[in-house]
C-alpha cells in the first residue's frame, strides 16, 4: 500500500508519528500491530511513536521465533525521496538552482525542455514511471534481483516512452522524477548524490544507521528478513538484493529512530531556509495531496499530516508526522501471502493522530 496513495485518499499510512507516548496509546498501537502480524498482513513490524522506544510484533525470519530487532535496519524504498528533495531544496536556498527553472538549464538535452525542477519533486513532469516497465513482478524479479543498474539506464526506460501528460498539467507518481533529481544533485554538487545526502543530512543529524547502499546487496546491522513470492506464490527470502534499480528514488536503508530524527528536523524547519520550508509542503490544484517530496493529507478528525511511504521487495515503510511534533514511523516486513494491512494502517493513524 503506497503511503502517497493512502494520503491522497486521506487514509494515510506507512511511517507515522505521534505527540504523546502515553502507555494507553502505546498499548493501542501494540494491539493493532499484533493484529496485523496475526492476520498475515506482515511477518514482523516495528513502530516508533514520538521518538520513544520501538513497539514490535511478529518475528524476524520465517520458521524462527527470533523477535524483530529493536531499532532494526530495513529498506525504506520511496522514503528515500524526501531526503533527496531536501537536498534539492537546500541547493535552491543556496541559489545554485531555481525550482521553476527548466531541468535542461543544468542538464542539457536530458528530458523534455519544458519540465522544471519543481515538477520533478512534485510528480507533475509527465515523465513515464520507469518501474512500470521493469520486471518487478514475481515472475520477472529474479532475473534482475542482483543486477547493477546505472541511473542513465533507468531514465532511458522512461524516455523511450511518450510523456504521460503535458508537463505541469496533471499529477502522476513517477520514480523517474527522482532519478532525474538525483542526476541534478550530482551535476550541481559535483559529487555522487549519495555523498550529497550523507554530507547534508546524515552527518549533521547523526543518522548513523542510515545508509545509501549503492550496489551492495546486504542490509547492515540487526534486521528482519523480507519475503516476496516467486512465480508459484511461494515466499522467497529477498533480503539480499541490489537496490540500484531504485537509486535516488528508493535505494536507502534506515531505522525507525533515524527516520524519526529526520522527519522531526524537517518538519521543524531545521534543514531548510524559511522560503524553501514553505515550498516543501505547498500543494496546488494539480497536485492537491503532494508537496515537494512529501505527501499531505487532512485526516477525518481534522489533523493535517505530512509524510511518505515506501515499498521495495520484502519491506514496507511509513513515515508520518505533524509540525507540532506528532509522529509515527513504521517498518513492515512482508510475509508474501497477499494479505493487506490497509485497515490496520487506518487504525494506527486514528490512534496516533486523532
List the catalytic residues: 78
Nearest-angstrom CA–CA distance, 9 and 64: 37
In angstroms, the CA 331 to CA 16 distance is 10
CA neighbor of 53 nearest in space, from 76, 72, 74:
72
Q: Given the DSSP bridges, would you call strands 54-58 and 74-75 parallel, antiparallel or unpaired?
A: unpaired
Residue 57's H or E segment, with its range, is: strand 54-58
Among left, alpha and beta (phi > 0; psi -120 to 50; other), residue 304 is: beta
Contacts of 321 (CB under 8 A, 6+ apart): 16, 17, 263, 264, 267, 305, 306, 307, 327, 328
CB-based contacts of 343, cutoff 8 Å, min separation 6: none
Q: What is the DSSP letter of 205?
A: H
Amino acid at each position: 500500500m503506497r503511503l502517497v496513495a493512502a494520503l491522497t485518499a486521506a487514509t494515510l499510512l506507512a511511517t507515522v508519528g505521534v505527540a504523546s507516548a502515553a502507555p494507553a496509546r502505546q498499548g493501542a498501537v501494540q494491539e493493532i500491530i499484533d493484529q496485523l502480524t496475526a492476520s498475515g498482513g506482515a511477518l514482523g513490524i516495528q513502530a516508533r511513536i514520538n521518538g520513544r522506544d520501538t513497539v514490535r510484533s511478529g518475528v524476524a525470519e520465517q520458521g524462527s521465533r527470533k523477535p524483530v530487532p529493536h531499532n532494526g535496519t530495513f529498506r525504506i524504498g520511496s522514503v528515500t525521496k524526501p531526503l533527496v528533495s531536501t537536498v534539492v531544496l537546500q541547493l535552491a536556498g543556496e541559489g545554485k538552482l531555481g525550482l521553476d527553472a527548466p531541468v535542461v538549464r543544468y542538464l542539457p538535452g536530458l528530458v523534455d525542455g519544458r519540465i522544471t525542477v519543481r515538477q520533478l519533486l512534485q510528480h507533475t513532469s509527465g515523465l513515464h514511471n520507469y518501474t512500470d516497465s521493469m520486471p518487478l513482478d514475481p515472475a520477472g524479479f529474479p532475473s534482475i534481483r542482483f543486477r547493477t543498474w546505472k541511473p542513465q539506464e533507468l531514465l532511458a526506460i522512461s524516455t523511450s516512452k511518450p510523456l504521460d501528460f503535458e508537463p505541469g498539467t496533471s499529477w502522476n507518481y513517477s520514480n523517474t522524477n527522482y532519478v532525474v533529481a538525483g542526476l541534478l544533485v550530482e551535476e550541481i554538487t559535483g559529487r555522487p548524490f549519495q555523498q550529497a545526502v550523507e554530507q547534508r543530512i546524515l552527518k549533521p543529524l547523526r543518522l548513523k544507521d542510515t545508509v545509501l547502499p549503492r550496489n551492495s546487496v546486504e542490509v547492515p546491522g540487526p534486521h528482519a528478513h523480507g519475503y516476496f513470492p516467486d512465480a508459484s506464490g511461494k515466499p522467497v527470502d529477498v533480503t539480499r538484493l541490489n537496490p540500484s534499480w531504485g537509486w535516488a528514488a528508493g535505494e536507502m536503508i534506515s531505522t525507525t529512530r533515524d527516520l524519526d530524527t529526520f522527519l522531526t528536523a524537517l518538519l521543524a524547519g531545521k534543514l531548510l531556509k524559511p522560503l524553501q520550508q514553505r515550498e516543501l509542503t505547498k500543494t496546488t490544484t494539480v497536485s492537491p495531496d503532494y508537496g515537494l517530496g512529501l505527501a499531505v493529507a487532512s485526516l477525518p478528525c481534522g489533523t493535517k499530516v505530512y509524510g511518505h511511504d515506501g515499498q521495495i521487495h520484502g519491506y514496507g515503510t511509513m513515515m508520518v508526522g505533524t509540525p507540532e511534533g506528532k509522529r509515527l514511523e513504521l517498518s513492515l516486513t512482508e510475509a508474501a501471502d497477499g494479505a493487506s494491512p490497509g485497515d490496520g494502517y487506518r487504525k494506527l493513524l486514528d490512534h496516533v493522530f486523532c
